[in-house]
Amino acid sequence: MRADFVCMNQLPNTENAPVLRTDFSDQAAWDAIRREIEQSIDGFHANVEYIDDAEFADLGKDALLRLVPRTMRHSFIVVADKASMVGEHLLLVIDLLSQQGKSFRTEPSQIQGIENNLSISNMDFSEFAENCDPEGVFRGFPTF
């Protein structure tokens, strides 16, 4: 399938922040990503809803943005794409609101903090994006 493939349906407007799977090549990697996202940190957990539908296989960022419903209740989406299925399982986080399409990668263990803060507008997308390492990966905020 081509990366610019466009599905006929829109992305679902989930109750919780969406985590969209677009690569179906490694079930064990997907299971590991989900386990990491679901780990509680200091009593907090990520309020996410998984979109695990092969209809969205190989969906690229531009095509994905065209499928976001106008009534989307979330300001961001997390994507488990081909790059996420290897190595550190780095997920793609895409801004759907203020800087639509801006993105960064992050470790699955960081989704809890990102989701919790963005969902209640405690922080802006840019605060995470501006704290990425030189490779464009958010690994948490520096501690002093």
Range of the domain at 52: 17-138
pLDDT grade for 142, boundaries at 50, 70 and 90:
confident
Note the pLDDT of residue 2: 42
**5 part of a folded domain:** no
In a domain, 9, yes or no: no
- For range 73-89, the mean pLDDT: 97
Query: Is 11 inside a domain boundary?
Result: no
Tokens standing for residue 132: 């990425």
Q: 143 pLDDT exceeds 80? A: no
Using pLDDT thresholds of 50, 70 and 90, give the confidence band for residue 60.
Answer: very high
Domain-embedded: residue 121: yes
> In the prediction, which pLDDT does 8 show?
53
Question: What is the pTM (predicted TM-score) of this model?
Answer: 0.91
Domain count, the chain: 1
Q: Indicate whether 2 belongs to any domain.
A: no
Per-residue pLDDT, 5:
46
Closest C-alpha among 120, 137, 81, 76 to residue 102:
76
Cβ proximity of 108 and 117 under 8 Å: no
In a domain, 72, yes or no: yes
- Give kind and range of the element (H or E) at residue 20: strand 17-21
State mean pLDDT over 102-116: 97
Average pLDDT over residues 86-98: 96
106 phi, psi to nearest 5 deg:
-155, 160
Residue with tokens 């499928």: 67
Residue 63 lies in a domain: yes
